[in-house]
Structure 1
Amino acid sequence: MTVRQIRFFGDPVLRTVCSPIDSIDDGVRQLVRDLMDTVQLDGRAGVAATQIGHTQRAFSYKVDDQEGYLLNPELVSVEGEPVPTGEGCLSVPGLWFDVLRYPRATVRGTDLDGNVIELTGEGTLAQAFQHECDHLDGKLYIHRLEGEDRREAMKQIRQSDWF
């Protein structure tokens, strides 16, 4: 099992818009193994490729009894009214803020065999899909914060022992 180190806020790779995966090779298969191993630790709902230093479009997820990965994921639909949802991030450890997230989300991508996979999640799984797709677009959840919440998040980051 290879658990990769998580990159923290301030690392430029986290602001990178990921490139599509054009072909499945040993490097992509290793990336998927690393993502799946890294998401297995307690308290983790998802890990995006950027969080372990890669700029290819892939993420893993593990919510309740559902786990897996997607290559070239895209958020294809969201349903319901966005609601403030408590959220944290492995790349911004120790912070927790409400972010507007849709209660239902559908993502589409492929597996290592090139098969198209479409997944729909509700609640925490929907939140994870939205959060991980944001990562692959170079966004952290704190970039969705506004006003006083944004100022407070930046203050907490500056005062953290990891920044």
Structure 2
Amino acid sequence: MEENQEALGRLDDRLKPPPELEEFWQKHPEIVKLGDPVLRMVAKPVVRFTKETQELIKRMETIMRDADGLGLAAPQVGVSQRILVYDVGEGLQVLINPKIVHRSGEQVEPPEGCLSIPGLRGIVARAKEVKVKGFDERGRPVVKKVSDLEARVIQHEVDHLDGILFIDRADPETLVWVIEEESELEVAGATDSRS
């Protein structure tokens, strides 16, 4: 395990953003960025659903929405707890102590990015459908069967809870730094319109 952590640390060191992304990286200082050790830790299970848990969930939702993210895991705000929030267009969803119990199919699109590695995109093969168990913000059991984008987001965020980043699963040939400006993407000096 220690050797694996060293290898991940070396990968993190190699993936420093280009200088033109420095300001973009500083845009949301409340989000922990690549290189912070908390992103490589296995988060601790939540054992009590307290007022502090509720406050953390609210803070995570605010941060995720301010950063225009689809999901956010507690380690991304510096808290090593197994909590994630997401919204793929159907309102805020909260999963505490989530465990993916079934995966099926495969999807490779769209490319993934991460609020903790702003500007980097890559292709990650994920299950097309997942079944996940956990608890909601009040401690009630939750079982969800989801597919497509929602399945991708849940898998991405559960990985965060296990100290795994999308760069660990991405096809390295597809990793590219992207500078987003309004409705255009600038990739390695070329401009591509977003559809």
Range class of TM-score, shorter chain: 0.7 to 0.9
Which of residues 152, 156, 167 in structure 2 aligns to 1:131?
Answer: 156
Q: List per-residue Cα deviations over 1:85-114 (Å, max 9, x = no partner).
A: 311111111111100011112221112332
Q: How far, CA to CA, are the matches of 2:138 and 2:54 in structure 1?
A: 10
Paired letter, 1:83: Q
Which of 135, 140, 143 in structure 2 is aligned with 1:115? 140
Query: Does the residue aligned with 1:47 lie in a helix, a strand or coil?
Result: strand
Distance in structure 1 (CA, Å) of the matches to 2:154 and 2:41: 18
Structure 1: runs of 5+ lacking an equivalent: 157-163
- Number of residues of Structure 1 aligned to a counterpart in Structure 2: 150
For residue 147 of structure 1, report the CA deviation from its aligned partner.
4.8
* C-alpha distance in structure 2 between counterparts of 1:76 and 1:61, whole Å: 19
Structure with greater Cα Rg: 2
Partner of residue 84, structure 1: 108
The answer on 1:43 being equivalent to 2:68 is yes
Is the CA contact 1:17–1:138 (under 8 Å) kept in the aligned structure 2? yes
Shift in alpha-carbon separation, 1:69–1:4, aligned structure 2, 3 A: farther
Counterpart residue identity of residue 47, structure 2: D
Deviations 1:141-162 (A, max 9, x none): 001135544xx56xx5xxxxxx
| Distance change >3 Å, CA 147–CA 24, structure 1 → 2 | closer
Q: What RMSD, in angstroms, separates the aligned Cα atoms of the two structures? A: 2.1
TM-score relative to the length of structure 1: 0.83
Of structures 1 and 2, the one with the larger relative CO (CA 8 A, separation 6+) is 1
Cα distance in 1 for residues equivalent to 2:91 and 2:172: 35
- Runs of 4+, deviation exceeding 6 Å: none
TM-score (normalizing by structure 2): 0.70
